[in-house]
Every structure is written in structure tokens, then in C-alpha cells.
């Protein structure tokens, strides 16, 4: 009797342990498919994002092609001193920060506004056509855009100056007037990127539970009240995430936009010269790869610190909206 009772007492834990092992095995088998699906993306991330980080050592070396990355002489912070020792360091840093801040602000507002408008006609037969037309500029090269801009602003033959002359106004020498180019570059950036941004926000709007809007209609809420009290609050986490990601790239200017659209005109450098264009010209003129690597290292570190600072600020306000 004692033996039988002991075996009866011992059996349930053994059965429970076996059931737990089988459950963990089933969990592993169920995640194999998802792991294999993620594997190509993880490999690409390692190869194109983490493996090249070994090259950051070039920022601290006097890189020579014949000596290679490891054989080149170590110069410490000399490359950084060259980058920030010029009188142009403040100008390019200021332009990069101000222009990218302007792009983030205007891009967020315009893309969100277009997404709200597109949501109102999403069931219309023309909605796909509108989305395509808005998204199409995203694929056009900045080289092509520079010719469009020149056609509008170039000399007295430009479309804008022709309109000014027809209104008995003085034409503007756009390519000799740097004060106008923050607005010109902002308009070009919006034209190129607002379609892509609006699609992201439209996807977020379509993911909102429609029962919220149905309940609001029953309560007599107007369309503006639905946007103000339902759509915008529920989109706020997405907006914050995209803004934080934009802040992470705030020191990395769009080289094509700032180089090709102003046509690399020295008379416009006071407002159009940014870190990327300055580094490119220095690399072409001097061939100093170490200095270019130092600029990239500086941009990445400062961008990382800004993301951490912005995320910390968001967490202090509302921890649910922070990235980490």
C-alpha cells in the first residue's frame, strides 16, 4: 500500500514535467517559421549595418589606399580637428540642424494633413490615383528635380520670374539670393517626401477601430471633433516614433537635395551648405578619406545622443509613447 501510494504521489509531477517539455517543444516548432522569415532581414542588418562599423577606425587614421585600413598611421583626433577647425564648421552645423528641423516639422504637418484628407475619400475610385500621384515624386532623382527647379527659378526665362514680370514686379536673381533657399529647399523636400509620409499616416488611420467613429457619430460628433478627439490622439504614438527617427537623422542631410537642387552654387553656401556637401567637396579637393569618416562618425554619435535625449523627454511626459 505504501509503495502504491508513493507511486501515485510521484506520478503527477512527472506527467506535469513531461507536459511542460512538450509544450516548450511545440512553442519552439511554432516559432521556427517566423525565425526563418526574419533570418534574411537579420543577416542584411548585420552585413550592411553592423559589419561596416569596423570601418569607424578610419576616422582616427591617416588612411592610405596602399596601406589599407589596419596599416594606415594612427592620427587620433586630427581628422576631427580639421573638420571643426575651419571657419565654416559653425555654418554647416547650423544649416544642417535648422534645415532638417524645418523638414521634420513641415513634413510631419503636411503628411498628416494629406493623410486625413485621403482618409475621407479612401473609398472613392480616384483615391488610388491620388495616392499614386502623391507617391510618384519619391522615386524621382534629385538631378531631375534640379532641372525642374531651374526651369522655375532660372534667370528671367524662369517661370516664376516671367510671372513677376507680367505683374510689373522686379524679377528675382534666385541663384544669387541665399535668403530664399530655405523656403525653396523646404518646398522641394515636401514635394518629394509628403506622399510617402502621408501613406504611413494613412495606414495608421486605417488601423483605428471604426467603432470609435461609429460611436462618435451616434453622439453627434462632427468630422472635426472626430479628428480632434479620436484620430489625432490615437495617431500620436506613430507621430512621435517618426519624429524621433527623424531626430536621429537630423545631422545627416539629404546630399542630393542640398548639392544638386542649388546646383552647388558658392553664392548660396550661406544657407545651403551642410555637413554632407562640405565633406564631399573636401573629399574631392583633398582626397582625405579619414576626414570624411570623422564627419560620418560625428553625425552618427550626435544623432544617437539626440534620439536618446528626445526619447528621455518623451518618457518624462508619457512613458507609453517612448521608443525604449
State the cell numbers at 17.
514535467
Query: Would you say residue 8 has pLDDT above 60?
Result: no
Please report the pLDDT score of residue 108 as a whole number. Answer: 95
CATH level 2 (architecture), domain 70-140+186-321: Orthogonal Bundle (1.10)
Burial 276-293 (b: 16+ CB within 10 A, else e): bbbbbebeeeeebbbbbb
Alpha helices by DSSP H, the chain: 2-45, 68-71, 78-84, 89-120, 127-135, 142-153, 159-166, 181-206, 210-218, 223-226, 232-248, 255-260, 269-272, 275-286, 289-317
Average pLDDT over residues 294-322: 84
pLDDT band at 324 (very low <50, low <70, confident <90, very high): confident
Query: Does the pLDDT of residue 96 top 50, yes or no?
Result: yes
Strand partners, 73: 62
Q: Give the global pTM.
A: 0.81
Amino acid at each position: 500500500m505504501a509503495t502504491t501510494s508513493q507511486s501515485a504521489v510521484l506520478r503527477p509531477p512527472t506527467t506535469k514535467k513531461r507536459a511542460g517539455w512538450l509544450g516548450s517543444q511545440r512553442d519552439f516548432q511554432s516559432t521556427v517559421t517566423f525565425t526563418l522569415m526574419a533570418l534574411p532581414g537579420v543577416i542584411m542588418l548585420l552585413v550592411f549595418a553592423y559589419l561596416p562599423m569596423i570601418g569607424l577606425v578610419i576616422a582616427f587614421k591617416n588612411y592610405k589606399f596602399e596601406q589599407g585600413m589596419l596599416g594606415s598611421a594612427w592620427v587620433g583626433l586630427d581628422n576631427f580637428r580639421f573638420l571643426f577647425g575651419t571657419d565654416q564648421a559653425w555654418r554647416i552645423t547650423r544649416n544642417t540642424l535648422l534645415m532638417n528641423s524645418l523638414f521634420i516639422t513641415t513634413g510631419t504637418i503636411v503628411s498628416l494633413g494629406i493623410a486625413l484628407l485621403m482618409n475621407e475619400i479612401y473609398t472613392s475610385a480616384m483615391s488610388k490615383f491620388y495616392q499614386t500621384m502623391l507617391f510618384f515624386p519619391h522615386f524621382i532623382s534629385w538631378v531631375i528635380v534640379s532641372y525642374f527647379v531651374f526651369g522655375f527659378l532660372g534667370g528671367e526665362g524662369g517661370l516664376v520670374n516671367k510671372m513677376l514680370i507680367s505683374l510689373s514686379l522686379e524679377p528675382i536673381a534666385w541663384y544669387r539670393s541665399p535668403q530664399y533657399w530655405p523656403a525653396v529647399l523646404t518646398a522641394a523636400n515636401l514635394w518629394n517626401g509628403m506622399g510617402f509620409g502621408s501613406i504611413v499616416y494613412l495606414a495608421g488611420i486605417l488601423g483605428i477601430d471604426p467603432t470609435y467613429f461609429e460611436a462618435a457619430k451616434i453622439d453627434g460628433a462632427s468630422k472635426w471633433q472626430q479628428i480632434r478627439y479620436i484620430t489625432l490622439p490615437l495617431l500620436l504614438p506613430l507621430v512621435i516614433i517618426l519624429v524621433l527617427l527623424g531626430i536621429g537623422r537630423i545631422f545627416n542631410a539629404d546630399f542630393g537635395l542640398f548639392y544638386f537642387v542649388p546646383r552647388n552654387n558658392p553664392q548660396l553656401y550661406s544657407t545651403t551648405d551642410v555637413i554632407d556637401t562640405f565633406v564631399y567637396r573636401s573629399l574631392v579637393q583633398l582626397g582625405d578619406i579619414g576626414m570624411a569618416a570623422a564627419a560620418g562618425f560625428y553625425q552618427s554619435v550626435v544623432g544617437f545622443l539626440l534620439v536618446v535625449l528626445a526619447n528621455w523627454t518623451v518618457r518624462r511626459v508619457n512613458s507609453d509613447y517612448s521608443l525604449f
